[in-house]
């Protein structure tokens, strides 16, 4: 059974360290390495900026097995959030963990008052792109300066809509 837990800003140092470990694993992936230039600083600052009331940081677990993570943060645009750092450890891939994390992030975006979520991914992450399309995400043009040329970007309207 996959559970998704919220990493609080204070009081859970073990969860915060687990999130830092997962983000470091993510940063070392071939499609990320060299592109996320502020990774060390960002990882050290966790769980910020993914804390209430502007975001959330989630970890997926199965018992004692840490499976992956993901984050959401609001953007400067009204009622729009961005999904970030969705990562599933290699041993857990293909078991629906990415979908579970993504759906939990979408629900957190709703609790933040958002009606749309955006994300970007690497061109070579075909399974992730297929998942986003399956969930109803639509391709959009790049929406911030962090994106690399050719990065696929997606948006989903989450206003009063059931997503499975």
CA angle 148, 150, 153 (to 5 degrees): 85
Query: Tell me, what's the pLDDT at 162?
Result: 64
Q: What is the pLDDT of residue 1?
A: 87
Higher-scoring residue by pLDDT: 160, 5: 5
Binning pLDDT at 50, 70 and 90, where does residue 161 land?
low
* Distance, CA of 35 to CA of 31 (rounded, Å): 8
Higher pLDDT: 164 or 70? It is 70
Rounded mean pLDDT, 73-81: 93
Residue 49 CB neighbours (<10 A): 14
Q: What is the mean pLDDT of the chain?
A: 94
pTM for this one?
0.94
**pLDDT per residue over 113-125, tens digit each?**
999 999 999 999 9
What is the per-residue pLDDT for 2? 94
């Amino acid at each position: 059974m996959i559970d998704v837990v919220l990493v609080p800003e204070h009081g859970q140092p073990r969860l915060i360290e687990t999130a830092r470990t997962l983000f470091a694993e993510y940063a070392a992936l071939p499609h990320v390495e060299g592109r996320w230039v502020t990774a060390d600083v960002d990882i050290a600052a966790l769980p910020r900026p993914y804390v209430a009331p502007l975001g959330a940081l989630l970890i997926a677990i199965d018992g004692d097995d840490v499976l992956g993570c993901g984050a959401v943060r609001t953007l400067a645009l009204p009622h729009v959030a961005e999904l970030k750092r969705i990562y599933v450890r290699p041993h857990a891939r293909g078991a629906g963990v990415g979908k579970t994390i993504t759906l939990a992030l979408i629900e957190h975006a709703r609790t933040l008052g958002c009606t749309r979520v955006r994300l970007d991914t690497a061109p070579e992450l075909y399974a992730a792109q297929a998942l986003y399309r399956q969930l109803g995400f639509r391709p959009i043009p790049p929406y911030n300066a962090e994106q690399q040329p050719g990065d696929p970007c997606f948006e989903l309207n989450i206003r009063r809509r059931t997503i499975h």
